[in-house]
Amino acid sequence: MIGFALRRFAQAVPITLAVATLVFSLIHLIPGDPAEVMLGDGARAADIQALRERLGLDRPLFAQYQHFLGGLLRGDLGTSLYYERPVTALLAERFPRTLELALAALAVALLISVPLGLLAALRQGRWVDRFSRLAALLGVSMPSFWLGPLLILLFAIRWDLVPVSGRQGVISLILPAATLGTQVAALLTRMIRTALAAELARPYLRTARAKGLSVFLAVLRHGLRNALLPVITVLGLQFGSLLTGSIITETIFSWPGLGSQLIQAIRLRDYPLVLGGVLLIAVTYVAVNFLTDLANAGLDPRLRSQ
């Protein structure tokens, strides 16, 4: 198991470096000069040039990339051009709130998908199965930028049950978590239903039922473990999509997380902050997939020898 973990970790390092290089290259292709954005349209050319020299934007792109990589190896992501504060400090303030929203959305997705997928697999062809298919289709078809305002209109403005926006305690998590977790719940419902339906047809479950176990107990004791293998893989991938999808959701609900900060940093051409934010999301995504591989290896020992 240790060797398997070391191999997966060794694969994650070049992926992270490639993401950092790609993001650095793309962010410098965005039109606009950060110095001009910071000083405004009426700034003099001499002032803009002086600010560019102070921020190090006048150096060649490769020299800026070397400086970025050197700081990255030291754990230093630089200083924000706009806020003039360390990027690590700004990310430390916002990222826990984004992680909080992503975990809440994941909890919503699991609370919906696990019981619905389980019932659909046990009642194949009945109304529960048909309802799960319809719910999954609707969930996948509704984008967050449409579902979020709809939930605000219904639950925050019309019925006044939850706050419209902002972060005002646990109740403020309900609407953004539901918006973010709906599509994940739809996908997981179909995955769980398909995986469990395949396990129900296997001989070991028929043997368990022949020994006197009910279908429900046979699935819980024996079938669920094997059915979870593909579900855990998809769950790890979807957690990464929750982090990236939170950018839109945080903007809709004015959630003070990393996503809304990234949108503002892109608008201000704040290169270090954009690089640090995207890199943090990428590293978290890689880390979640690393943990997903370990969980799958724990459930299926055959994966450790691959």
Q: What is the pLDDT of residues 186-202, one digit of tens each?
A: 888 888 888 887 777 77
Average pLDDT over residues 133-160: 86
Average pLDDT over residues 206-230: 72
pLDDT at 52 over 80: no
* CB burial string 103-122: b at 16+ within 10 A, e below: ebbbebbbebbbebbbbbbb
The strand pairing partners of 86, in sequence order, are 79
Q: How far apart are CA 13 and CA 134, in angstroms?
A: 41
pLDDT at 303 over 60: no
In sequence order, the 6+-apart residues with CB closer than 8 A to the CB of 121 are 192, 193, 195, 196, 197, 200, 219
Instruction: Please name the residue that has the structure tokens 């449409």.
Output: 146
Q: How far apart are CA 174 and CA 176, in angstroms?
A: 6
Percent of the residues in the chain that have a pLDDT greater than 70, as a whole number = 87
Structure confidence at residue 171 as a pLDDT band (50, 70, 90):
confident
Dihedral angle of Cα 194, 197, 201, 203, to the nearest 10 degrees: 90
Q: Which two tokens stand for residue 36?
A: 């001009």
Note the pLDDT of residue 127: 86
Instruction: Spell out the long-range contacts of 62-66 with Cβ–Cβ below 8 A and sequence spacing 24 or more.
Output: 64/28, 65/21, 65/24
Q: What is the mean pLDDT of the chain?
A: 80
More confident residue, 86 or 29: 86
Q: How far apart are CA 194 and CA 199, in angstroms?
A: 9
Q: How far apart are CA 15 and CA 237, in angstroms?
A: 15
Q: Write out the H or E segment, with its range, that includes residue 241.
A: helix 224-253
Q: Which two tokens stand for residue 201?
A: 């047809």
Q: How far apart are CA 50 and CA 35, in angstroms?
A: 9
Residue 250, φ and ψ in degrees, nearest 5: -65, -35
Q: How far apart are CA 23 and CA 282, in angstroms?
A: 10
Q: Are 179 and 249 a contacting pair, CB within 8 Å?
A: yes
How many separate helices (H) and strands (E) can be counted in the chain?
13, 0
More confident residue, 302 or 267: 267
pLDDT at 70 over 80: yes
Lowest mean pLDDT among 72-76, 78-82, 221-225, 296-300: 296-300
Structure confidence at residue 304 as a pLDDT band (50, 70, 90):
low
Average pLDDT over residues 48-63: 76
Phi-psi region of 47 (alpha: psi -120 to 50; beta: other; left: phi over 0): alpha
Q: Are 294 and 5 a contacting pair, CB within 8 Å?
A: yes
Q: How far apart are CA 239 and CA 228, in angstroms?
A: 16
Q: How far apart are CA 11 and CA 5, in angstroms?
A: 10
Q: How far apart are CA 278 and CA 290, in angstroms?
A: 18
In 3D space, the residue among 21, 17, 28 whose CA is nearest the CA of residue 60 turns out to be 28
Q: Are 117 and 128 a contacting pair, CB within 8 Å?
A: no
Instruction: Please name the residue that has the structure tokens 């030291």.
Output: 74
Average pLDDT over residues 263-274: 82
pLDDT at 54 over 80: no
pLDDT at 1 over 70: no
Note the pLDDT of residue 300: 62
Lowest mean pLDDT among 33-37, 51-55, 72-76, 250-254: 33-37
